[in-house]
């Protein structure tokens, strides 16, 4: 059956406007600051001109976009000056993610992102505002194609009945202990760094005079309040994002549904999972909570891939084994044997970090030698910070062969503990790295590579006994 070509719902224009304004809002804000001392008429004309350009672009984008459902593919036409026709066969579709903002619910609309087995960055097709029935229709076409391709006597797994939801208490712990507000600050500073040359000197002089009148104490209080505002906003954003997070396993897929203002529904085939990662910052470890993520094959951009896919934002540490046994029954967590790192592991990590810290303090001291008290404080703080991180890195360097299917590894990044469960089938390369000095002491590093997004994920465990490393290499070869 071939359907006629469809346009998106007019609400799609609002989506386009939102995305365009989101991309220019910060540059526009700083540009207006730069024009504060200029003509008001020029400023108003600039704002009106930009708004008209954005609106015109969004309208043209809407009227030149349509999609059509064919028997074996979805056809998408787009482009204002350069016309594009995208053919997406149903059997190439790996995932369909739906995003539904709260204002779209009364109208039965949602945004669909269609991801394929190709290596494009992000979803192959994005339908900004379509009926909620379209996702079911696409899944029906996909299942019909799968039925045609598969033998009739192949049995398929049905709903497994496994479901897990996070509690309000867990979500609050997760949001309050997240360092996400620092990312917001860094993003603002990055934008400022790009456009600082466009800001007038008079604005800088005005700001300096204001701070001078306020005094050091009030300036510090002001900076603290800015940090506090960023922190509160990040907490609210995380609560809204992962509100009513629910994970369900069915038909060899993991389906997630979450969100307050924007309800997101996405499913991941277990066949795309390359590794299971459990992350614990130092604070969350003290609170006995963790985050469960997946390294998967996808079309995500590099910066998105590095974040991995969160399948459980927060879970009590005592429930992790039970959670893994329910959703990943192939992982025999009870077979994991935690080994005690050698004293030489601590020696190598602490020695290397001490050398780095000393060099860093020498450079800092040469730059700020006139402020003696600052040099002393920096030396003490950097020593405690880096040496504590090195100690945790040595303590958390571990690996264990669970069985002939899975490998267990742990390492540390600054103060975050990372625990990996890696299937042998997803490992691309296992490499033993060893310098001349390490070879004499029978120590080595282990480097494991698996696919992640459209690229590679490297997992390293350093300064372990060569016997441990060789055991893993032999396990992989067998």
Q: How far is CA 67 from CA 72, 144, 224, in A?
A: 14, 20, 50
Say which DSSP state 266 is in.
Answer: E
In the sheet that holds 443-452, the strands lie side by side as 427-433, 443-452, 455-465
The whole-angstrom separation of Cα 67 and Cα 69 is 7
pLDDT (0 to 100) of residue 157: 38
Contact assessment for residue 117 and residue 143, using Cβ atoms and an 8 Å cutoff? no
Number of neighbours of residue 319 by Cβ within 10 angstroms: 16
Contact assessment for residue 411 and residue 418, using Cβ atoms and an 8 Å cutoff? yes
pLDDT (0 to 100) of residue 366: 92
Instruction: State the sign of the Cα–Cα–Cα–Cα dihedral 326, 413, 283, 303.
Output: negative
- Token couple for 55: 């609106």
Q: What is the pLDDT along the chain (478 residues), one digit of tens a residue?
A: 567 889 999 999 988 898 888 877 766 766 666 666 566 677 778 778 888 988 999 999 999 999 999 888 899 999 888 889 998 888 888 788 899 988 888 889 999 988 886 645 667 888 989 999 998 888 888 877 765 555 444 333 334 568 888 888 889 988 888 877 666 656 555 555 555 555 555 555 666 666 566 566 766 777 788 788 888 888 999 999 999 999 998 878 888 999 998 899 888 888 888 999 999 999 899 999 999 999 887 655 444 434 578 899 999 999 999 999 999 999 999 888 888 889 999 999 999 999 999 999 999 999 988 888 899 999 999 999 999 999 999 999 999 999 999 999 999 998 999 999 999 999 999 999 999 989 889 999 999 998 887 678 899 999 999 999 999 999 999 8
Contact assessment for residue 411 and residue 457, using Cβ atoms and an 8 Å cutoff? no
3-class secondary structure per residue, 232-243 = HHHHHHHHHHCC
- Token couple for 209: 């005079």
Cα angle 304, 310, 311 (rounded to 5 degrees) comes to 145
Q: How far is CA 334 from CA 247, 275, 403, in A?
A: 23, 18, 11
pTM for this entry: 0.79
The whole-angstrom separation of Cα 245 and Cα 261 is 13
């Amino acid at each position: 059956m071939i359907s006629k070509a469809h346009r998106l719902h007019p609400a799609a224009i609002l989506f386009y406007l939102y995305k365009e304004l989101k991309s220019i809002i910060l540059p526009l804000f700083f540009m207006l600051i730069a024009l504060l001392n200029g003509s008001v008429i020029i400023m108003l004309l600039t704002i009106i001109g930009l708004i008209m350009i954005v609106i015109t672009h969004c309208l043209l984008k809407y009227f030149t976009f349509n999609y059509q459902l064919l028997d074996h593919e979805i056809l998408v036409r787009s482009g204002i000056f350069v016309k594009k026709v995208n053919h997406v066969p149903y059997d190439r579709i790996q995932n369909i993610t739906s995003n539904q903002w709260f204002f779209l619910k009364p109208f039965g609309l949602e945004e669909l992102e269609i991801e394929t087995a190709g290596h494009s960055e992000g979803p192959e097709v994005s339908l900004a505002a379509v009926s909620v029935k379209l996702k079911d229709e696409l899944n029906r076409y996909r299942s019909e194609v799968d039925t045609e391709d598969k033998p009739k006597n192949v049995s398929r797994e049905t709903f497994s009945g496994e479901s897990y939801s996070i509690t309000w208490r867990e979500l609050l712990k997760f949001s309050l202990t997240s360092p996400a507000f620092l990312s917001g600050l860094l993003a603002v500073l990055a934008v400022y760094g790009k456009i600082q040359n466009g800001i007038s000197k008079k604005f800088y002089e005005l700001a300096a005079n204001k701070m001078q009148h306020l005094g050091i104490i009030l300036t510090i209080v002001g900076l603290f309040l800015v940090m506090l505002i960023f922190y509160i906003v990040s907490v609210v954003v995380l609560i809204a994002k992962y509100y009513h997070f629910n994970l369900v396993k069915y038909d060899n897929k993991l389906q997630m549904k979450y969100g307050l203002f924007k309800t997101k529904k996405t499913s991941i085939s277990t066949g795309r999972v390359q590794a299971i990662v459990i992350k614990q910052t130092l604070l969350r470890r003290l609170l006995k909570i963790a985050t469960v993520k997946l390294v998967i094959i996808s079309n995500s951009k590099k910066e998105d891939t590095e974040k991995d896919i969160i399948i459980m934002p927060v879970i009590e540490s005592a429930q992790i084994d039970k959670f893994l046994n329910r959703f990943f029954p192939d992982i025999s967590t009870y077979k994991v044997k935690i080994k005690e790192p050698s004293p030489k592991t601590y020696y190598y990590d602490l020695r290397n970090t001490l050398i780095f810290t000393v060099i860093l303090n020498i450079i800092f001291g040469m730059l700020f030698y006139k402020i003696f008290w600052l040099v002393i404080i920096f030396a003490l703080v950097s020593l405690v910070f880096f040496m504590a991180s090195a100690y945790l890195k040595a303590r958390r360097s571990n690996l264990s062969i669970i069985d002939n299917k899975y490998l267990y590894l742990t390492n540390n990044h600054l103060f975050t503990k990372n625990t990996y469960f890696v299937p042998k089938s997803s490992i691309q390369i296992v490499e033993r790295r060893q310098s001349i000095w390490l070879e004499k002491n029978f120590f080595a590093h282990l480097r494991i590579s698996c696919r992640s997004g459209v690229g590679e994920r490297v997992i390293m465990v350093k300064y372990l006994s060569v016997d441990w490393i060789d055991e893993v290499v032999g396990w992989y070869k067998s």
